Amino acid sequence: MHLLSRRRLLGGAGVTAAALGLHAAGFSSGRAWANPRFDGDPFRLGVASGDPAADGFVLWTRLAPDPLALDGLGGMPAESAQVEWQVAHDESFGRVAAQGAARAVPELAHSVHVEVAGLSPGRDYFYRFRTTGSEAVISPVGRARTAPARRGRSGEVSFAFASCQCWYEGFYTAYRHMAGEDLDFVVHLGDYLYEYGVGATAGVRGMRLDASFQHETYTLTDYRNRHALTRLDADLQAAHQAFCWILTWDDHEVENNWAADVAQLDSDGFPDSDPAAFRQRKAAAFQAYYEHLPLRLPQRPSGSSVRMYRRLPFGNVLDLHVLDSRSYRDDQVCGDGTKPGCDAERSDPARSVLGAEQERWLLDGTARSAARWNVLANQTLIAQVDQDPDPDVLSSGLDMWDGYTTARDRLLRGLYDSGANNPVVLTGDIHRSVVADLKLDFDDPASPVVATEFAGTSISSGQDGAATDQVGRNWLAAGVNPHLKWHNAQRGYTRVTADDRRLRADYRVLPYVTRPGAPVSTAASFVVENDRPGAQPA
C-alpha cells in the first residue's frame, strides 16, 4: 500500500480554524493512542464529504476495524486517535490544497468530521485520511466538488436526490449507478436507516447476524451498529466517495412516524410513549446519525436537540432549503395512518409540520432568495392526495401534509404571496415517484399553481416495484387528483439539472432490487420553465 511520509502529509498548505480540533472541544478522552495498530482495515466504513460551500465542505470517516463489534465501538479502544487528512487538486495528490490532523474520540465512536475552507468555488477536489503510527493506513480516495460562487455568470447545477434505503429489503444497486453520473452533489431526504430488526437471514441479503440485530434499535449501541451495517455496503460507499452529500432525516432514523417528543404508540413494548424516555432514545439515534454521516458542527446534537434545517446556496442557480419535518411537528391526528374523515382535526390552525420558527425561517429565506430556483428538501408529500378512487370519499395520509392542511395552506400561501422565485419541492418517504402541481386550492381547477413537487421513490424500501400498482391506479383515477401528473412505483433515484431557463427531473429506475446487478433506465423526464410553475413532460 502506498503510504505518504508524515513530513509530506503535514507540510505545505495550512489548516483552517474549522478543521482544527473539531471534536477535541468538550472531550477530554484521556490519553491518545500512541502507536495505533489495527486488527483490520480501520477505514472499512469508507469516507464521505458533505454540505458543500463555495470554499469547502466537510469530510468524514470513522475508524472501525471491526464495524459490527457487539459493544458498538467498532473494534477501537477507549482512547483517542490522531487522523491526518489531505485535500488535493488531483487524484494522485501531487498538488495539495489543504491538509491537517483531527482527533477521533471514543465518545463519538472515533468518527472524524473536518470542515475544510479556503478552497476555490465550483471545482473538484480529492481527499483522503491517514492513521498515524508505525503501521499507518491510508483511506480510500474520495472526490468532492465545491459549490459555485454566488457572483458571476450562472451555469448549470446537477444533483440527484434519494431516500428510503431499507438495507434488508433490497440491494443498493441504484447507488452504484448514481456514482457513475456527473453530479455536483446528492441530497438524501431521509430514512437512511431503518430501526426494525433485520430478520433471521437479513432479508434479501442472505446473512446471519447476531441476535442484537434482530430487535428494534433503542440504545446508542443499537443505532451505531445498525448504521455500521448499512455503511458497509460497497455501492453506498461508492456514491459517498463520488459526491458531497446533503442529508436530513425522516422518521426511521429514530422510529416510524415519530413527531417531536411523541413516539409511535404501537412500539414493541419499549416504554418510549413516555416523552422523557423517548427523548433518551432520540438522543441515541441522533448521536449515531451524526457519527456516521458528513455533517457540520451545527448539526451535532446536544442530547435530543439538534438543528437539522439549514440553507445551502449554489451560485445564482438555486438555493437549497433543507427541512426537518419531524423534530417540531404536532402528533398525527386520529391515530395516524390513512383514513377518511378527521377534517376538523386535520385543519386545526394550531397544528404544524415544521414548527413556527422553522416555518418563518423557510418563508423568509425563500422570499429573500435571489437565486433562480428555490428548492425545498422535504420529507413527506405536500400535495393533496385522495387515496380512495371513490369520488365521494376523501381518504388522507395523516402522516403526510394532508394531515396538516392549514399548515400546508400557510406554506403555499406564503410562497405565493412573497413571489418566491420558482419554488420546487423534493420529497421522499412514500416509496413511489409522483409529479404534482402544488396549488393554492387543490379542489379548484382554476386555482394558481404555486410550485412543483417531485416526489422520488425509494432506493430499496418495499423491495421490487413496478411501473404501476393499485395505489398508483387509485391516485390517478379520473377526477380524483387532477394535479398529479405522473406516478411510478419502481425503485431508484431522481437526477435534477437546473440553469437559468429550466429545471429538469429525470426519474432513474431499476427493474428489481431483491438481487444485485439491475440495469438503470429513465422512466420519465419533466421540466419546469423559469417563471412558469408546474411540470411538463420533457
What pLDDT, in 10s, does the model give residues 185-220?
A: 999 999 999 999 999 999 999 999 999 999 999 999
Sheet with 124-131, edge to edge strand ranges: 96-104, 81-88, 124-131, 142-145
Asked if 432 and 488 touch (Cβ cutoff 8 Å), the reply is yes
Residues contacting residue 279 through CB under 8 Å, at least 6 positions apart: 261, 303, 304
Whole-angstrom Cα distance, residue 538 to residue 250? 30
Whole-angstrom Cα distance, residue 408 to residue 412? 6
Question: Is pLDDT larger for residue 14 or for residue 325?
Answer: 325
Which residue, 453, 405, 404, is CA-closest to 429?
453
DSSP class per residue in 507-532 = EEEES--SSS----EEEEEEEEETTE
In the chain, the N- to C-terminal Cα span, in Å, equals: 48
Cell of 361: 425561517
Look at residue 28 and tell me whether its pLDDT is greater than 50: no
DSSP class per residue in 250-267 = -STTTSTT-BTTB--TT-
Helix (H/G/I), strand (E/B), else coil: 424: strand
Amino acid at site 197: G
Cell of 443: 379542489
Whole-angstrom Cα distance, residue 168 to residue 206? 9
Look at residue 9 and tell me whether its pLDDT is greater than 90: no
Cell of 393: 370519499
Pairing of strands 96-104, 81-88: antiparallel
Residues contacting residue 360 through CB under 8 Å, at least 6 positions apart: none
Q: pLDDT (tens digit, 9 = 90+) per residue, 117-175?
A: 999 999 999 999 999 988 899 999 999 999 999 886 679 999 999 999 999 999 999 99
Going from the C-alpha of 416 to that of each of 106, 111, 184, 352, the distances in angstroms are 48, 43, 29, 19
Cell of 145: 466538488
Whole-angstrom Cα distance, residue 396 to residue 398? 6
Per-residue pLDDT at 274: 83
Whole-angstrom Cα distance, residue 349 to residue 341? 17
Amino acid at site 135: E
Domains and CATH numbers, the chain: 1-149 (2.60.40.380), 158-537 (3.60.21.70)
Q: pLDDT (tens digit, 9 = 90+) per residue, 229-259?
A: 999 999 999 999 999 999 999 999 999 999 9
Per-residue pLDDT at 44: 98
Q: Beta-carbon neighbour count of residue 75 at 10 Å?
A: 18
Per-residue pLDDT at 288: 98
Whole-angstrom Cα distance, residue 36 to residue 80? 10
Residue with cell 423534493: 426
Residue 525 — φ and ψ, nearest 5°? -135, 140
Going by pLDDT thresholds of 50, 70 and 90, the confidence category of residue 18 is very low
Amino acid at site 180: G
Look at residue 81 and tell me whether its pLDDT is greater than 80: yes
Look at residue 22 and tell me whether its pLDDT is greater than 60: no
Q: Out of 7-16, 52-61, 146-155, 190-199, pick the least confident.
A: 7-16
Residue 173: its H or E element: helix 173-179
Helices (H), 180-252: 220-231, 234-242
Whole-angstrom Cα distance, residue 499 to residue 377? 18
Per-residue pLDDT at 27: 54
Whole-angstrom Cα distance, residue 196 to residue 345? 30
Going by pLDDT thresholds of 50, 70 and 90, the confidence category of residue 321 is very high
